[in-house]
Structures are given as C-alpha cells and as structure tokens.
Structure 1
Amino acid sequence: MQTTSVVKVLAAWLLGLMLVVAGFIATVSVLNGQLYSPEHQVRLYLDAMRDGDGEKALGLLNASVPDGANPTLLDGEALSRGSNPLEDLEVGEARGTGGDRVEVPVTYTVDGVATSTVFPLQRTGTEWGFFNVWQFEPTVLPTVEVSALNSVVAAVNGVDVGLPDGRAALAALYPTALTAEYEGRYFSAPARHATITSRENPPPPLALATEATPELTRAVDDQLHAFLDGCAEQTVFQPTNCPFNYPTNERLAGDISWSIAEYPTATISPGNGGWYLATLRGSARIETRLRDFFSGAVRDVSEAVPFEFEADLVVTEDAITVTPVVRYR
C-alpha cells in the first residue's frame, strides 16, 4: 500500500511537471509569436513615428543619417505629422527570405491610394535562451530635396526648415507623407506633397514655385500709380523722367493736362536670386489746344498716348522699393 501511494505521488508530480513544461513551451511560443516577433518590432517602430519619438524610431530601424542631410523631419511634430495621412495601416505576417531573415509588409493608403512598405529584419539571437531577438537590417535613410525660389526657409510638415542657397536635403524615416509650402508676407508658394515609402524609392524633389502675394502686388501698384500720377501733374509735352510724351510741331494755344487712362499691370517673377517686373505698359491721355503753325487754326486735342517702361524691384523684410527706369526714344 505504501508503494502504491509513492507511485501515485510521483505520477502526480510528473504530470504536474509535464503540465508546467508544456505551459512554459506554450508561453514561449506565444511570446515569440507576439512580443518577440518581427511584426512586433515593426509595430513598435511605427508607434514611435506616430509619437514623434525620433530617437526610438531611428534606433529601432537601425538606420543612419546621410552625411550633410537636414534632420528636421526625424523628430517631434514634423515626424508625427508624417504619419497622420497614412490610413488603413496594417502590419502583415512576416515571410521568410532565407536563413534567419524575414520581410514584414506594411500596407496603408495615402489620399486613397493603396501603398506598401516592406521591412527586412534578421534574427540576431535569443534572450534567456528562449525568446527570439529580431532587428531591422541596417540601412541609410532616404532624403528628399526641398527648394524654393529666392527663399531661405520653407515649412515642411508644419515645421520651418532652413534652405541654404534655396534648397536642402532632408533625411526622413518611412513610411511618411510630406507637405512642403511657403507662406510669407510678400511671397508664398502652393503646397507640394510627396510620400516616402522606402530607401529604394525616394520621391522627386519638392520644388516650391514662389509667387507674389496680393499684399506685395498692391504695394508695387501703389508705387507705380504714385510715380505715374506725379508725371501726369506736369503741364508740359515731355514730363521729366516720365515714360510718355506728346511730340508736335504745332504751337501751344492752351493749357496742357495729362491723366493716366490705363495703369500698367505689374507682373512679378523670380530671377537671379531676386525679383523683377515684366515690362510695364499703359496709356496716358493729353488734353490741350494747339495752333497750326501755318494757318493759325486752333484745334482741341484729346488723345491717348500709349507708353511702356521698365522698373527695378527690391524687396526686403522692411521695405519694397520700385525704381522706374525710363529710356527715351
């Protein structure tokens, strides 16, 4: 009877041990499939991007920043805002690529367009001999070039980025959506968009086409109007330093009165690191009375006089200067 009891105890103990071992093996299997899986590493990386934690994301991706690249997009709001446009994001199942290497696909949509990114990872060992350790394969971050005509700054994902010589190469984690734009007092540029999906597929350069704002155009028009109005105040056939005149061989028989019938439309364009005005064209009207040199007959004159001229434009943060350049013909 005593022997039978001992056998029962040993059997129970062995059964309990087997259950513990089986439970442990199951736990290891579950953890390797979840917390210690390559998919989990990818999720941690994507979460770090959404949180704007650039240091963590860069470390997880096992990536280096190219020499000379601007790091503005690698942290904070600029980083987290790049994740906002990525919708329907899903991390797929890892697929083996040979040895201890796998690929983890991530699918998402940007502006309704289905896109994907594939992350290569490798198993580098285990923790405590049981749990797999996965690591992204080393890579170098892609860059995107942002440029703006005649500007040394642009906003990328809502953060100001310096543009030495009008351009900069920005390093970026991926997948990410970028929006570059410029909004200044006198000049602005419509937004340009790009999506970086991988190191192998960098986007084309984001070239911002800078244009004059209505405030600048109004300021230029005001100076042009003031200049021409000053010319119209002169009561001579050839107003001094002005773009219009009235040549005649007849004698003056009354007062001369000028008015501006059509003011020029200012067209402002970038060029040579500055801004220039296209040729300015308009029309003045002269009102006077003239006496024929031979017959002595007097006639009333009311004629439109077309004119054109150039003008130099200098724009600074503090002032706008329009300098008419009149060439007599």
Structure 2
Amino acid sequence: MSQALVRTAAGWLLGLMLAVAAGVVAINVVNNSIASPQQPVREYFDALQKGEGEKALGLLHATVPQSSAAMLDGTALQTAAARISGVKYGDAEDRGGNRVMVPVEYTIDGSALRTEFLLEKSGTEWLFFHRWAIVPAALPVLDVTVVNENEATLNGVPVNMPNGRNSFAVFYPGEYEASLAGEYFSAPSTKATLSGREVPAAPLNLMTEATDGLKDAVGSKVKEFLDTCADAADKEQRLQPDCPFYHTTNNRVMDGTIDWSITEYPTVSIEPFGGRWVMAPLNGKAQIKAKQEDLFTGAVTQLNAVHDFSFTARLDIDADTVKVTPLLSY
C-alpha cells in the first residue's frame, strides 16, 4: 500500500510540476503576445486605419492642443493612414522605471520610416498578466495656409481656413494632403508626412492661382469690351473714342471712312495682391483704316496704322458671377 501511495503521490507531483510549467509557459506566451508592450501599439495602428479616432486617442492617451479637430476621425483619419504599409513591430527596449520603447518600422509612399512609442507598465491582470499603456503626450499640429481663400480640402475633407490659415491636430504616423480645386481658383496639392510627435511636419502652403476657366471668362469680357468700343468708334467716326486706343494726325480724315479693329487682344494675368485678386495691365494692339487728305497738298492717301494700347481693369468675383470694370484715363 505504501508503494502504491508513493507512486500515486509521485504521479500527482509530476502532474503538478507539469501544470506549473505549462502555466509559466502560458503566462510568458500571453505576456509576449496580447499582454505585450507591442499590443497597444498594434491596436493603435488598427484604429488609425479604420478611422476610429476616439479609440486611437484613448490608446495614445494624448491631449488635443487648441486647434481644429477635423483630421481626428473618419475619412480624414483613414486617408492619413491609408498609405502606411509593411508595418513591423520591433522588440521592446528597456528604458528604466517600468518603461519600454517599442519601435515600429513601415513605409509611406515607398519611403521607409520609423516611429518609436514609449510605454509604461500600468499594472497587472489576474496577478500574472502585464498591462501596458502608451505614455501620454500632446498630439502634433499641422499648419496649413491658402492664398486669398477661406476654405480648402485636407485629406479629402473640406476645411475652413479663416483668413487663409488654420492649424489641425493630427495623429501619427500618417500622410496629409491639402488641395484646392474651385471653379475660378485652384492650387496644386501639397503633402506632408508625419512620422512622430517629436518631428514636426512642414507647413502645407497652397499657392492659389486663377483657373484657365476664370482667365477665359475674363478674357471674353475684355474682348467684348474692346470690340464694342471699336464698333462705337466706327459709328461715331472718331479718331479718339472713349476707348483705350486713339489716333492723332495733322491730316483731315474723311468722315465715313474710319474703321477701327482689334488686331491683338490682351493676355489676361490675374495675381493675388493685398488680400484680393488683381489684373495685370491689359496690353494689346488696335488698327485704324481710313482715307485722309493732306491739308497742304490736298493729296488723298489711305491711312493704315496700328497702335499699341494699355489699360487696367477691376476684377470682382462672387460665387456665381465675374465682373470686369475697365479703368480708363483720358
């Protein structure tokens, strides 16, 4: 009986030792996987790519600086994280004081980047499993400016730009792209890649330009003004009409023969100045044809002259209309 008891006890002891060993292994496996320092970082990246800003903010334990929150959720956030690929989570590196650093390597648009996350042990669960949390810090801010506009598009989302500028709190890593594509004014898109809080992103500056559509519309109105002016000069038979062009001569020009035409229309150039849009001087050429009589000899000859002219105009634009007001000096 004693030998049987010994064998039974030995069996139980071996089973207990194996169970303890298995438990230790299981604890280590859990602490190196779902309870590892990498796990909050994995969950954070997952939240970024799903556009779950509230969850990402909670995992990052970040404070939001005074700025626009337009980039912190939904489409804007998903777009920022959409080009992150090839994510690799490195081994945790001890930083002392129950803190570790988890490096993450990835690419954005083919560029290899690295972000380091500082985490601290925040306790245990079920006595054995570690609990880790990303050390709190403030979110970085991305500055955006746009010339002579009060709105723009950032990561596909329309954003307000009071007085042509705004600041946006952003998550990292991510890519942020600003653009402006209006009917009358547009700007080439510009991008900034943010890999960490410690490395501020370069400001995004949108250099607004008049669209070809606006230039064509203004050019059409300038052409209409000049053609109307030339027609009125013909009807009134005037050498010096109320137009940007005129002709002077010592000869007598015969009534009924004066014929004005525009041979070269101005090229329209629209530039920002002093918070509004102004037109560069409008330069062109006008031709006059007529019959003229020399007052000394009485000889009649054909007048055919081309004159350079230049004038300015005021440009007024609202949501639906373009108005061009010629400014002539006589």
- Please give the TM-score of this superposition, normalised by the length of structure 2: 0.96
1:41 paired residue number:
40
Shift of 1:145: 0.7
Shift of 1:45: 0.4
Unaligned runs of 5+ in 1: none
Q: Is the 8 A contact 1:45 1:57 kept in 2?
A: yes
For the residues of structure 1 that align with 2:318 and 2:272, how far apart are their CA atoms?
A: 14
Identity %: 44
After TM superposition, the structure 1 = structure 2 runs for residues 160-239 of structure 1, keeping only pairs within 5 Å, are: 160-233=158-231, 234-235=233-234, 236-239=238-241
- Post-superposition Cα deviations, 1:54-85, rounded to whole Å, max 9, x if no partner, equal 00001101101102x11111111110111122
The SS at the match of 2:12 is helix
For the residues of structure 2 that align with 1:98 and 1:176, how far apart are their CA atoms?
A: 29
- Post-superposition Cα deviations, 1:207-243, rounded to whole Å, max 9, x if no partner, equal 1011111211111011000000011102211122x11
Shift of 1:110: 2.4
After TM superposition, the structure 1 = structure 2 runs for residues 300-315 of structure 1, keeping only pairs within 5 Å, are: 300-315=302-317
Shift of 1:20: 1.5
The reply on whether 1:15 has 2:14 as its aligned counterpart is yes
Amino acid in structure 2 at the alignment position of 1:321: K
1:98 paired residue number:
96
The SS at the match of 2:189 is strand
For the residues of structure 2 that align with 1:180 and 1:33, how far apart are their CA atoms?
A: 40
Shift of 1:30: 0.5
Q: Does 4-13 or 185-194 show the bigger shift?
A: 4-13
The SS at the match of 1:114 is strand
- Which segments of structure 1 move beyond 6 Å, counting only runs of 4 or more? none
Q: Structure 1 residue aligned with 2:300, among 293, 298, 301?
A: 298
Shift of 1:88: 2.1
The SS at the match of 1:72 is coil
Count residues with an aligned counterpart. Answer: 325
Q: Does 168-177 or 112-121 show the bigger shift?
A: 112-121
Amino acid in structure 2 at the alignment position of 1:64: T
For the residues of structure 1 that align with 2:135 and 2:125, how far apart are their CA atoms?
A: 19
For the residues of structure 2 that align with 1:271 and 1:170, how far apart are their CA atoms?
A: 27
The reply on whether 1:246 has 2:247 as its aligned counterpart is yes
- Post-superposition Cα deviations, 1:11-48, rounded to whole Å, max 9, x if no partner, equal 22222222221111111100000101111111110010
RMSD of aligned residue pairs (Cα, Å): 1.1
- Please give the TM-score of this superposition, normalised by the length of structure 1: 0.96
Shift of 1:113: 2.1
For the residues of structure 1 that align with 2:43 and 2:219, how far apart are their CA atoms?
A: 56
- Post-superposition Cα deviations, 1:279-323, rounded to whole Å, max 9, x if no partner, equal 110000001111112221111111111000001111111110011
Q: Is the 8 A contact 1:253 1:298 kept in 2?
A: no
Amino acid in structure 1 at the alignment position of 2:37: P
1:51 paired residue number:
50
Unaligned runs of 5+ in 2: none
The SS at the match of 1:74 is coil
Shift of 1:187: 0.8
Shift of 1:143: 0.6
Amino acid in structure 1 at the alignment position of 2:185: F
Shift of 1:6: 1.8
Q: Is the 8 A contact 1:274 1:314 kept in 2?
A: no
For the residues of structure 1 that align with 2:122 and 2:253, how far apart are their CA atoms?
A: 100
The SS at the match of 1:237 is coil
Q: Structure 2 residue aligned with 1:261, among 260, 263, 279?
A: 263
For the residues of structure 1 that align with 2:19 and 2:316, how far apart are their CA atoms?
A: 82
Shift of 1:188: 0.7
The SS at the match of 1:64 is coil
Q: Is the 8 A contact 1:150 1:273 kept in 2?
A: yes
Amino acid in structure 1 at the alignment position of 2:6: V
Q: Does 253-262 or 82-91 show the bigger shift?
A: 82-91
